[in-house]
A and B are shown apart, each in its own frame.
Chain A
Amino acid sequence: MKTIFVVDDDPVYQRFMQSHLNQLGYQVKSFFTGEDCMENLYQKPFAVILDHYLANGESGMQIMQRIKSVENRTPVIYLSGQDDVSTAVEAMRIGAFEYIEKNGAAFVRLRTAIERLEKVQLRKGNIFMRLFGS
């Protein structure tokens, strides 16, 4: 079973996320801080879902930059409570796979993003197989 990391300092949203992702067939590991997530990155999660606004003054952007510097291939889905274009642009510039606002359509968009991510990974796998054989 693939594992998705969820980094959010809000326990309610963590649980919402867990319910949705479990139902989609993913195992979920939740972290309250970016630091905890970084320490577990060696487990190579299928994706990291990262909140913009973390506890202890951590910024989701900084954590994403650190993730990308350590493991560039790990897809990051960036969540934010703010409807702010500049935050979205900045997140995508740093390398977010998707930017999702925590609004009434958040989980619908999350599902779509994960389905898209599965397709991208499958395509990458197919190309690898074609180039290097089985």
Chain B
Amino acid sequence: MGWGIRGFAKTGSGFVLHTALKSPEPHIQEFMMTRFSPAILSAQCMGDATLINEVCNVFLELFPGQLNALQLAINQEDIVLTQKELHKIKGTIGVVCLPEFRESISQLEATLKTGKIMDFKPQTYMAFESLKELLEEAKQFQIGKKI
């Protein structure tokens, strides 16, 4: 099983919440896949509602800029720059996402660091798309929708 499939693919038993939610139907599992973790955010903020709100707002305000920088690096096919952007993103998302998701970004970053990567653009773009989904989930969380 390749890295991309384990980390980001939308098929199979790829992502962590598949097992956590124990849904028997694969298509339902896909729908319920999530990256954002209110529990991690809450733990990081010691359950303080004001701080959770503030940190989430900072994330929503500044994370799109990091995503734009990543997209730019991917489009330029600049492996070094992409790795650097992913490194920053890895730090940022650690505050709000599931550890397994952060780990998959970390693995991609490590792969890029070695320079030995086949299909640079598809793999990094898949990561980019899943990071966009994380942002969407954070938005939903902040406006009080159940995710």
Task: Report which A residues bind B (CB closer than 8 A).
Answer: 9-13, 15-16, 19-20, 23, 53, 81, 83, 102-108, 111
Contact = CB atoms under 8 A, between A and B. Distances in A.
Interface stretch (B11-19, B43-51, B125-133): B43-51
A104 B46 contact: no
Interface residues of B, number: 27
A35 B87 CA distance: 21
Given A12-B63, A105-B43, A19 B94 contact: no
A19 B62 CA distance: 14
Interface stretch (B2-10, B21-29, B53-61): B53-61
B65 to A, nearest CB: 8
25 contacts: A10-B88, A10-B91, A11-B65, A12-B62, A12-B63, A12-B91, A15-B58, A16-B55, A16-B92, A16-B95, A19-B51, A19-B54, A19-B58, A20-B51, A23-B50, A81-B87, A81-B91, A102-B90, A102-B91, A103-B99, A104-B43, A104-B94, A106-B44, A108-B44, A111-B46
